[in-house]
Amino acid sequence: MSEISKTFAGLAPREGALVAYVMGGDPDPDSCSKVIDAVVAGGADILELGIPFSDPLADGKSIQAATVRALSAGTTPRRVLELAKYAKEKHHVPIALMTYFNIFYSQGFENFLRLARSHDVDGIIIPDLPLDEASRYARISRRVGVDNILFAAPTTPAGRMRMLASNTSGFLYLVSILGVTGARRSVRRSTLALIAFAHRYTRGKVPLAVGFGISTPEHVREIIRAGADGVVVGSSIVDRVAGYREGKAKVLRNVEEYVRSLKAATRG
């Protein structure tokens, strides 16, 4: 059983997992390790660590801005892998690496995956890897021993949902709404219905975590109550990191407290 699966399996009844996203190398590679410390201290169950990519198609303004900050600070994919190793050694937290397919492809998919594994990465999340291509990469991931976490969306029909549920590992990442990442004001009723629909295919098979647009403890509570096994929060953490230069102690405290409030909400 992978570290990520173990985390879901070890939750209390009705408790959800908090997957917290940090852009690797934001605001710069050294300071990022402090952001990781704060996120874990706040109670993140799984760390989703992003490798900045020049063309982040699935991301909204917040993560685009974080991408620019990280890249202009000279962050490379290898440096982000070092951050993963740091996080694992210091905090023993499960790590899902999130980036776009070309970062993997340019180094040779398996080659880069093995490198990631050797840096203690437990899972990968690649938003521009479509299901039709995913099965061969899922095979490689199984061989290397890394979870390949796939996405489902509000437009995903039943047949595809079934395929996704059996091809994904670690958890199924359900995109809550049509669109890109970024905080939204409220959880739509359609999202709650979507969770119920997706749950029909994942229940008893693989955990279901919901992301995109989730930004408050109230959102987290609603999503977990609707039956999700976990939530993914990214943009609103990243937004808090944006002010790092102006006052890092305050930002780190703010990030930690914010994550703590989200984690508390996963318990109902």
Partner 1 sequence: MPALQELESAYLRWKGDAGFRADLDGMLREYAGRPTPLYFAQNLTKRAGGAKIFLKREDLLHGGAHKINNTLGQALLAKRMGKHRVIAETGAGQHGVATAIACAALSLKAEVYMGSEDIKRQKLNAYRMELLGAELHSVTAGSKTLKDAINEALRDWATNVNTTYYLIGSVVGPHPYPVIVRDFQSVIGKEIRRQMLRREGRLPDALVACVGGGSNAMGTFHEFVERRGVKLIGVEAGGAGRGKNAASLAEGRKGVLHGMLTYVLEDEDGQIRETQSVSAGLDYPGVGPEHSYLKENERATYVTAKDGEALRAFHLLAEVEGILPALESAHAVAYAVKMARSMRKDQSIVVTLSGRGDKDVQIVAKEAGVNL
Give Cα 39 to chain centroid, integer Å: 13
Residue with tokens 């951050």: 83
From the CB of 218, what's the least distance to partner 1, in Å? 23
Task: Please give the single-letter amino acid code of residue 79.
Answer: R
Q: Is 54 in the site for partner 1 (CB under 8 A)?
A: yes
From the CB of 103, what's the least distance to partner 1, in Å? 5
* 256: annotated active-site residue: no
Q: Which of 3, 45, 59, 222 is catalytic?
A: 59
Helix, strand and coil content of the chain, in percent to the nearest 5, comes to 50, 15, 35
Identify the sign of the CA torsion 55, 59, 65, 66: negative
From the CB of 151, what's the least distance to partner 1, in Å? 10
From the CB of 72, what's the least distance to partner 1, in Å? 12
Cβ distance to partner 1 smaller for residue 181 or 266: 181
Q: Is 60 in the site for partner 1 (CB under 8 A)?
A: yes
Q: Is 25 in the site for partner 1 (CB under 8 A)?
A: no
Cβ distance to partner 1 smaller for residue 161 or 259: 161
Q: Which of 26, 45, 48, 256 is catalytic?
A: 48
Binding to partner 1 by CB under 8 A, coded x per residue (else -) over 139-158, reads: ----------------xxx-
Residue 52: asked if its preceding bond is cis (omega within 30°), the reply is no
Token readout for 10 is: 């070890």
Q: Is 115 in the site for partner 1 (CB under 8 A)?
A: no
* 48: annotated active-site residue: yes
Mutual angle of helices 77-91 and 109-118, in 10-degree steps: 30
Q: Is 185 in the site for partner 1 (CB under 8 A)?
A: no
Which of 177-185, 226-234, 246-254, 258-266 is the region at the interface with partner 1 (rule: CB under 8 A)? Answer: 177-185
Beta strands in 89-223 (DSSP E): 95-98, 123-125, 147-149, 151-152, 172-175, 208-211
Token readout for 97 is: 């690496």
Beta strands 123-125 and 151-152 are: unpaired
Q: Is 72 in the site for partner 1 (CB under 8 A)?
A: no
Q: Is 101 in the site for partner 1 (CB under 8 A)?
A: yes
Q: Is 167 in the site for partner 1 (CB under 8 A)?
A: no
Using CA atoms in the order 50, 249, 237, 246, what is the torsion angle rounded to 10 degrees?
Answer: -90
Residues that bind partner 1 (CB under 8 A): 53-58, 60, 64, 71, 76-77, 100-107, 128, 130-132, 155-157, 160, 178-180
The catalytic site residues sit at 48, 59
